[in-house]
Amino acid sequence: MRRIAPALCCLLFAASAVAIGRSDREAPPTTAQVLEAAQPSDWRRPDPADTLYLDLPAGRVVIELAPRFAPEHVANIKALVRDRFFDGLPVGRVQDNYVTQWGDIDEARKNEASTRKLPDESIIAWNKALPIVKLPDRDGYAPATGWLDGFPVGIERKPSGQVWLTHCYGMVGAGRDNWPDTGSGSELYAVIGQAPRHLDRNIVLVGHVLRGMELLASLPRGSGALGFYSDEEKPKRTLISSARLASDLPESARTALEVLRTDTPLFTQYVEARRNRREGWFVRPAGHIDVCNLPIPVRDAR
Amino acid sequence: MRRIAPALCCLLFAASAVAIGRSDREAPPTTAQVLEAAQPSDWRRPDPADTLYLDLPAGRVVIELAPRFAPEHVANIKALVRDRFFDGLPVGRVQDNYVTQWGDIDEARKNEASTRKLPDESIIAWNKALPIVKLPDRDGYAPATGWLDGFPVGIERKPSGQVWLTHCYGMVGAGRDNWPDTGSGSELYAVIGQAPRHLDRNIVLVGHVLRGMELLASLPRGSGALGFYSDEEKPKRTLISSARLASDLPESARTALEVLRTDTPLFTQYVEARRNRREGWFVRPAGHIDVCNLPIPVRDAR
C-alpha cells in the first residue's frame, strides 16, 4: 500500500493525497496545487431544478441534466420523475466497458410521457454567442472539443455548424430504438468504460453523473446479449428505490455539491496540470489531454 | 428490452445479435459481417507459456503477457507465479474509472522475485523490422498508433524512435513506487475506465486481459485514497484463489481461446467496420477510430 502507482486519477481527495515530488517553485502547479488555490468563485452549484437523484439501495447517484442540449428530453425526464415512473424499475443492462442502463427495460410501464415522441436532440447549432471553452488539444472524433455549461462537447464550426455532447465516462443518455427520435427518456444509460465516441451525434445525451458513478459502474455485468440480464439474473437486478428532482425535495434531503467551473482561468490551469503531470511520480508528461480524460472535480458544498 | 440502444460494443456474440439495417450489398461490411467472414487463419491462439490465469472466487481472468515489450517483468511475474506468490493475496485497490490492482498490496509477502530490481521496460526501440500494423487515424497522445503482437501501441519514429504499449481498457501493468525501476510485478493493475494514456511511457505494461475483465471491473470500489480499501473494507477484499501459467496446467484445466489477429487484411476490414459503423442503428458514422476504442475480439477456441 506504500505504492501509489499508478498515481491519482481524478478525485479531489485523491489529488490531495499524492505526494508532490518537485521542489522547483517555478514549475507549473500540479493538479492538487491548482485545486488548493481555487477560490469559492471557481466552483458552481448545479441548479436543483436540473439535478436528478437516482436513489439505489446502495446509495445515491446524482445526475446533472443538460437542458441547453436536450430541452425536450430533459423536460420529459422531469415529467417521468414527477410521475414516479422510475420508482421500482430495474437497472436492466450492464455491458462491460460500455454502458449501464436503467428504467423501463421490460417496457412494462407505459404512460403518456414514456411514449411521447421527441425530436433528435443529439446536436445543437453552433453560434458565436455560445460560451464554449475550447480545448486546444487535437481530437480524432471532432474538429474541436471543449466545455459548455460544464459539459464536454464536440465542435464543428464548418461546414455543419454543430455542437454536441460527447460520450465520456459518466455521461448519461436516453436509450432509443432504431430511429433517432424514438427515445423518450424512459430508459437512460450511463457510460461505464472507454468513451464510445462513435455514439456522438447518434443518440441523445441528457446529462452527466456528478456523484455515485461507482454505484452504476460496479454492478454485475449482464450475461445476456448486449449486457442485458438473463431471465435467471432478472430476479437479482438492482431496483431503483426512487428518482427525484433535487428541487422537489426539502433542503435537508438534498446532496449539496459544488462542481469546478470550466469557464475560469483556474480551469485552464487545471487542464494544463492534467496535460503535463508535474507530480514527482511521472517521468514523461504526456503533453496532451483528451476531453474525455479530464474528469471535472466535484466536492461537497461548503 | 426491445431497445438495443446504445448498440453493440465489442463482444463477438453481441455483434452478431445486432440487426443489420442496410440492404445495400455494395456497402462496406458491418462488424458482424466481417467476423462472420473470418477464416481460421484470421485467429491466433495465445502461447500458453505467456498466458496467466488469475483465478478469483467469481471466475477466471485470462491475461496474455507481452514478452516482447517487458521481457524482464514478464519473466519475473512467471517466477512469482511459480513461487505461488499471488495465491491468497488480495485485490486491494479498485479506483473508479481508473484501475483495479492486486497482489502484495500490504507488502507482507516479500521474496527474492518480489524484491528484484527490474529496468524500466515501458518503451522498446523502434526498428523497421517490427511487424507493426499502423492505424491511419490520428491520435492525440502519440504521433501514431497501431498494433504489435496483437497489443495496442504508440509509435514515435522520430526523434525518439520509440514504441510502447498504450493504456487501453483491459491493459495490465506493474505497479511501482516513485521511480520507474521499482515495480517487480508483485503488484499488478488492470485499466477499468477511460484509457489513462498519460500513464504511457511512465509505467510498465506487461499484458492485457483476454477474458474475465468484468470480474475485475465490477468489484466494489475502495473508499480509501486512490481506491485502496479502507481498514474496515479489508476483511471483505476479494482474494486470489490462484495464479497459474496456462502452460503449467494440464490441457483439461486450461481455457482455450482464440484472438483475432491484428496483422491480416480481415483486421483492416474490421477496423473500418468500427470506424464507420454500418449497422442500421447508426445515423452518422464517426469516420474515425481510436486505438483504445477498438476491442480485439476473443472467442472460445474451435
What tens digit of pLDDT does each residue of A85-112 get?
Answer: 999 999 999 999 999 999 999 989 989 9
Do the beta carbons of residue A146 and residue A130 sit within 8 Å? no
Are the beta carbons of B105 and A1 separated by less than 8 Å? Answer: yes
- What value does the mean pLDDT of chain A take? 92
Chain A 141-200, residues with CB within 8 Å of chain B CB atoms: 141, 168-170, 173, 175-178, 180, 183, 187, 189, 193-200
Quick one: pLDDT band at residue A285, thresholds 50, 70, 90? very high
Are the beta carbons of B197 and A286 separated by less than 8 Å? Answer: yes
Quick one: pLDDT band at residue A27, thresholds 50, 70, 90? confident
The pLDDT, as a whole number, for residue B11 is 30
The pLDDT, as a whole number, for residue B182 is 85
Quick one: pLDDT band at residue A21, thresholds 50, 70, 90? very low
Query: Number of residue pairs across A and B with CB atoms under 8 Å?
Result: 227
What tens digit of pLDDT does each residue of B239-261 get?
Answer: 999 999 999 999 999 999 999 99
The pLDDT, as a whole number, for residue B8 is 33
Among candidates A105, A140, A274 on the partner chain, residue whose Cβ is nearest the Cβ of B290? A140
CB-based contact, A292 to chain B, within 8 Å: yes
Distance from CA of B19 to the nearest CA of A (A): 10
The pLDDT, as a whole number, for residue A179 is 86
Indicate yes or no: pTM above 0.80: yes
Instruction: For residues A228-255, give the mean pLDDT.
Output: 98
Among candidates B19, B177, B220 on the partner chain, residue whose Cβ is nearest the Cβ of A218? B220
Taking CA atoms, what residue in B is nearest to A8?
B226
Which residue in B281, B293, B166 sits closest to A141, CA to CA?
B293
Distance from CA of A160 to the nearest CA of B (A): 13
Contacts of B213 in chain A (CB under 8 A): 96-97
Chain B 225-244, residues with CB within 8 Å of chain A CB atoms: 225-228
CB-based contact, A140 to chain B, within 8 Å: yes
- Of chain A, the percentage scoring pLDDT greater than 70 comes to 91
On the question of pLDDT at A195 being above 80, the answer is yes
Chain B 30-89, residues with CB within 8 Å of chain A CB atoms: none
How much is the ipTM here?
Answer: 0.92
Do the beta carbons of residue B203 and residue A5 sit within 8 Å? yes
Contacts of B227 in chain A (CB under 8 A): 9, 14
* Mean pLDDT in consecutive groups of 10 residues from the start of chain B, 302 residues: 38 32 64 97 98 98 98 98 98 98 94 93 97 98 98 97 98 92 94 98 98 98 97 98 98 98 98 95 96 97 94
